[in-house]
């Protein structure tokens, strides 16, 4: 299985950093191969149709925006 692509969209605020940490925790607990990127450029965030940050994108699908998803919530999107 190819690596999962996870993007955290946000300007780098505390909530964005927490979402990134939660995503990494979810990946570690499921022991999956994933790449985590943090997108901070407003134009790139808007191109994905996101209006509220922080947002979480998994394999090019926006799964959460405007809140900090917990590791458990993120895991539900990562399980096959």
**Active-site annotation, residues:** 13, 16
CA distance 27 to 11: 22
Instruction: Determine phi and psi for 31, rounding to 5 degrees.
Output: 55, 50
């Amino acid at each position: 299985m190819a690596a999962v692509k996870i993007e955290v969209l946000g300007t780098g605020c505390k909530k964005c950093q927490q979402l990134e940490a939660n995503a990494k925790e979810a990946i570690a607990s499921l022991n999956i191969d994933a790449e985590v990127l943090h997108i901070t450029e407003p134009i790139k965030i808007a191109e994905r149709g996101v209006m509220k940050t922080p947002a979480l994108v998994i394999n090019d699908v926006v799964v959460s925006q405007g809140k900090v998803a917990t590791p458990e919530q993120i895991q539900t999107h990562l399980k096959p």
